[in-house]
Amino acid sequence: MSPDQEARAAMKISFPRCVVSILLAASAASAQALCLDTAEDPLLCETREIRFRGEAAQVLRNKAAALGNAADIYAYLRNHAEYTPYYGARSDSINSFGGLVGNDVDLASTLIAMLRSQGIKARYALGSATIQKNPLANQLRVDNIALLPTVLGSQGVIYTANTDTTMTIERTWVEALVPYRAYRGAAPATCAAESVDCRWVALDPSFKQKRYAHPDKHLLLRDVGFDFTAYYNADNPASPNHDASLKNKNPITIFEEKAQAYLKANHAGVTLDDVADVGEIVADDSGLLPASLPFAATTTGRYPSVDDHDAAISTRWRRMASVTLEVDDCGDTAHVLPSAQVPLAVLASSRLTFGTLTDGGQTRFGFQLDGVQQGSTVTLGSQQVSCTDGSTRTLGAGSRVTATVSFDNIDQDSAAVSAKYDNLTIGGYFVLATGAEVSNWDQVKRAYTRLNEANDQYPLVVDSGGAVYVDRNGNGAVDTGDTLLGNHAQAREALVGGLLDVASRLYVRSLKHSVDRYTLLTNHIDLLQSSGAF
């Protein structure tokens, strides 16, 4: 099955299909109103999902400029980006471009961003696509086409018809306004409006075929099991199931060692990489835009942005993460504590933190998105909270709160994934990390780059008593005017929040890497419901 699908079992351990959360301590509505710059043409502007401006999007923008025309921009994404099935908008174009992976909506956002960055008008198109099962199974690395409805349905992909040879699914692609008669979009030119020479062309960067080097070996390890009892007792010599050789080993390492022994004994000469054959995308090197979509399709809607789609269609694309807080052992607090709700696509390239911050000389507690306050805050030392037993509490450093984190599930009909995490201390610093299907190594690299930049911007120095200061003049000594790191809101957000962001991105990406590796080796997908955890 597809090497990029999320929500699979790593050693039969449930992994959230929708998103992983970690809290680490220390054509309908008006489109113009939804652009980040409301004065822009909605077919050329940035949105929360379609990002192509600023330093974070520079690599995307530079690549699109180097490619130079609509045909080459489309070919680059179509020939290099991996498709993975999940529902809705979970990543922005910066993250999907960096990882070169996404579903139909997220890869559409990426193609639109690259096109708009070069002044080419582009929009989302939604429709019903009837696709032959064999090509679809080839792309997803599914060896039995009868499993396709289960595989796609389990990931939230909506399908309306299923025959022996075809599936009809809801599909999103891109329409670009290009000078089609001039070498089918290969000319470096743009169009202001539809005309005889300029037309809207349908482009699907997600659909492609793959060439596998060892398709006959995909199933060789499917029945190789994993001894959970021995794994759980690796540090328990008293157990009859104790196996000291498993101690301090990652489950995927244990499985690979067992799989290698199995192959050596039963399939001499076959390697793990032969079995975990990810395949190679069969490239389209025509240099022209396609004359049509690669499947039979009926267009049902066209939208400049995700917001426009969600205003018109009940099965919304945007998937959200939300965090609410309440005081521990207090009960109903009349919702006086801060809360946050942020699109998952935004969190793919931004960090949501909560902790103390300076506001008008007061110490307050609340949420920040990339250092910008989100929603309300509460003032520590004066904020009163009414509890259900009739008592009141004054919030301050050391007060304990419970966070309830919720994520939209894999599809429109399933209940949100949520979990509570108590005993969180006001005065600490926390970051909400999301990942699963949109996690990639470029995401880790970008977080690491931001942390390095923060280290340069806010050099630190430690005094003889061990207190950490922001070294205002960078002379390596504590001087008058230097501020304690704990009292410097901007530095703490950039350095502490940045460090937690790197750690969480690295953790989620490493977990996804192990899950993907296990999935490829076993050709297995876990169809359990999504779950979430701090």
- What one-character-per-residue DSSP string does 10-53 give? BTTB---SS---EEEE---S-SGGGSSSTTS-TTT---SSS---
21 in a structural domain: no
* E strand map for 279-330: 280-281, 296-303, 320-327
Phi, psi of 287 (to 5 degrees): 80, 5
Instruction: Give me 43's structure tokens.
Output: 């077919």
Using a pLDDT cut of 90, give the percent of the chain over it: 71
* Residue 476 and residue 517 in one domain: yes
Query: Best-predicted range by mean pLDDT among 215-224, 373-382, 387-396, 522-531?
Result: 215-224
Q: Are 296 and 86 in contact (CB under 8 A)?
A: no
Where residue 533 falls among pLDDT bands split at 50, 70, 90? very low
334 in a structural domain: yes
What integer pLDDT is reported at residue 249 of this predicted model? Answer: 92
Burial class (CB in 10 A: 0-12, 13-18, 19+), 37: exposed
378 in a structural domain: yes
45 in a structural domain: yes
Where residue 21 falls among pLDDT bands split at 50, 70, 90? very low
What integer pLDDT is reported at residue 471 of this predicted model? Answer: 95
* Residue 104 and residue 229 in one domain: no
Find the mean pLDDT for residues 244-270.
Answer: 95
Q: Are 171 and 115 in contact (CB under 8 A)?
A: no
Instruction: Give me 429's structure tokens.
Output: 């610093």
Query: If DSSP states are collapsed to H, E and C, what string results for 242-294?
Result: CCHHHCCCCHHHHHHHHHHHHHHHHCCCCCHHHHCCCCEECCCCCCCCCCCCC
Residue 422 pLDDT greater than 60, yes or no: yes
* Residue 89 and residue 74 in one domain: yes
Q: Are 243 and 233 in contact (CB under 8 A)?
A: yes
Find the mean pLDDT for residues 191-208.
Answer: 94
Q: Are 524 and 401 in contact (CB under 8 A)?
A: no
> Minimum mean pLDDT among 18-32, 204-218, 511-525: which range?
18-32
More confident of the two residues 526 and 225: 225
Instruction: Give me 292's structure tokens.
Output: 């049509």
Find the mean pLDDT for residues 72-78.
Answer: 98
3 in a structural domain: no
* Residue 175 and residue 219 in one domain: no
CA distance 6 to 101: 12
Q: Are 68 and 322 in contact (CB under 8 A)?
A: no
Residue 264 pLDDT greater than 80, yes or no: yes
Find the mean pLDDT for residues 392-409.
Answer: 89
CA distance 451 to 124: 34
Q: pLDDT per residue over 479-523, tens digit each?
A: 988 999 988 989 999 999 999 999 999 999 998 999 899 999 998
CA distance 7 to 527: 8
| Average pLDDT of the chain, as a whole number | 88
* Structural domain boundaries, residue 248: 215-275
Q: Which strands make up the sheet holding 22-25, listed edge to edge? A: 22-25, 430-433, 352-359, 362-369, 372-379
Q: Are 524 and 517 in contact (CB under 8 A)?
A: no
* Residue 333 and residue 422 in one domain: yes
CA distance 23 to 446: 19
* Residue 199 and residue 123 in one domain: yes
CA distance 143 to 151: 11
Q: pLDDT per residue over 46-73, tens digit each?
A: 999 999 999 999 999 999 999 999 999 9
Where residue 413 falls among pLDDT bands split at 50, 70, 90? low
Residue 91 pLDDT greater than 60, yes or no: yes
Residue 187 is classified by DSSP as S
Residue 5 pLDDT greater than 60, yes or no: no
Residue 7 pLDDT greater than 60, yes or no: no
Residue 2 pLDDT greater than 60, yes or no: no
Q: Which amino acid is at 364?
A: R
Residue 392 pLDDT greater than 70, yes or no: yes
Instruction: Give me 159's structure tokens.
Output: 């399908």
* Residue 393 and residue 487 in one domain: yes
Phi, psi of 31 (to 5 degrees): -75, -30
19 in a structural domain: no
Whole-number Cα distances in Å, 29 to 192, 302, 303, 444: 22, 12, 10, 36
Q: Which amino acid is at 248?
A: N
> Minimum mean pLDDT among 25-29, 210-214, 317-321, 475-479: which range?
25-29
363 in a structural domain: yes
What integer pLDDT is reported at residue 170 of this predicted model? Answer: 96
What integer pLDDT is reported at residue 322 of this predicted model? Answer: 93
What integer pLDDT is reported at residue 359 of this predicted model? Answer: 62
More confident of the two residues 187 and 527: 187
> Minimum mean pLDDT among 41-55, 191-205, 325-339, 421-435: which range?
325-339
* Residue 192 and residue 270 in one domain: no
138 in a structural domain: yes
What integer pLDDT is reported at residue 528 of this predicted model? Answer: 35
User: Coil, strand or helix: which one is 255?
Assistant: helix
Residue 217 is classified by DSSP as G
User: Coil, strand or helix: which one is 511?
Assistant: helix
Query: Best-predicted range by mean pLDDT among 130-134, 315-319, 387-391, 523-527?
Result: 130-134
Phi, psi of 17 (to 5 degrees): -70, -35
* Residue 298 and residue 357 in one domain: no
Number of helices followed by number of strands (H, E) in the chain: 14, 23
Number of domains in the chain: 3
Using a pLDDT cut of 70, give the percent of the chain over it: 90
pTM passes above 0.95:
no
CA distance 307 to 48: 9
Find the mean pLDDT for residues 441-447.
Answer: 96
* Residue 65 and residue 192 in one domain: yes
**CATH number of the domain bearing residue 187:** 3.10.620
Where residue 527 falls among pLDDT bands split at 50, 70, 90? very low
What integer pLDDT is reported at residue 463 of this predicted model? Answer: 94
Residue 14 pLDDT greater than 50, yes or no: no
Residue indicated by tokens 């961003």: 113
Q: Are 390 and 407 in contact (CB under 8 A)?
A: no
Q: Residues near 185 by Cβ (< 8 Å), separated by ≥ 6? A: 69, 70, 71, 74, 176, 178, 179, 201, 288, 289
> Minimum mean pLDDT among 79-93, 106-120, 403-417: which range?
403-417
CA distance 235 to 34: 55
* Residue 164 and residue 82 in one domain: yes
Helices 70-80 & 58-67 angle (0-180, nearest 10): 120
What integer pLDDT is reported at residue 23 of this predicted model? Answer: 56
The angle subtended at Cα 300 by Cα 295 and Cα 306, nearest 5°, is: 100
* Residue 97 and residue 192 in one domain: yes
